[in-house]
Structure 1
Amino acid sequence: MKYITFPSENLNEIPQEVLDELHLVPRKSIDGTKVIMKVDNYEKLFPSAVSLSLQEDEETPQEPFYPYPVYEGKELEDLLSSSEWTSNDSIL
């Protein structure tokens, strides 16, 4: 599964009703400046922000191009375990 990170202020453009309708509760970074969500959900919220890369061969499937970093696998695990996304505060 692919995830994308993007500035929190972009999410402020989306009405809460839309987020509720899609059952989305976006996760924010510790400092609140970034949001991470599944790429599929990002495409639903920001369809105009996704573009297709140009392919010389028209039969080759086009890969979407995103304006922000996309993560999956080990790279995603490393990101989510970083201090930017995980608090070191212990919960009592």
Structure 2
Amino acid sequence: MKYIVFPTEKLDEIPQEMLDELHLTPRKSVDGTQVIMKIVHYEALFPSIMTLPLLDEKEKTENPIYPYPTYEGEELNTLLSGPDWSSDESII
């Protein structure tokens, strides 16, 4: 599963009713400045932000280009275990 990290300000543009309708509770970074969510949810909220790359005749791909970094697999695990996404404070 692929995830995207983007500024919280972008998420603030989306009405809470829309997030509720899609049953989304996006995860924010420890400092609250970034949000991480599944690509499929990002595409549902921001369909016009994605672009397809310009290709020459040899390349054939339909993978969109996102304006923010995407993560999956071990790279995602490393990100989420880092200080920006996990707090050292214990939850009581």
Matches within 5 A, 1:17-36: 17-36=17-36
Identity among equivalent pairs (%): 61
- TM-score (normalised: structure 1): 0.94
**DSSP-derived class of the 1:47 partner:** coil
| Structure 2 counterpart SS, 1:10 | helix
CA distance in 2, matches of 1:13, 1:82: 27
Give the number of equivalent residue pairs: 92
Describe the superposition over 1:28-85 as per-residue Cα deviations: whole angstroms up to 9, x where unpaired: 0000000000001001101111101112238823210000000000000000000100
Tell me which stretches of 4 or more aligned residues in structure 1 moved more than 3 Å. Answer: none
1:11 equivalent to 2:18? Answer no
**CA distance in structure 1 between the partners assigned to 2:58 and 2:86 by the alignment:** 43
CA distance in 1, matches of 2:40, 2:29: 19
Alignment of 1:73-92 (within 5 A): 73-92=73-92
C-alpha distance 84-59 of structure 1, shift in aligned 2 (>3 A):
closer
Partner residue, 1:54: 54
Alpha-carbon separation, structure 1, partners of 2:54 and 2:37: 25
User: Partners in 2 of 1:51 and 1:33 — Cα distance?
Assistant: 24
CA contact (8 A) 1:7 1:34 kept: yes
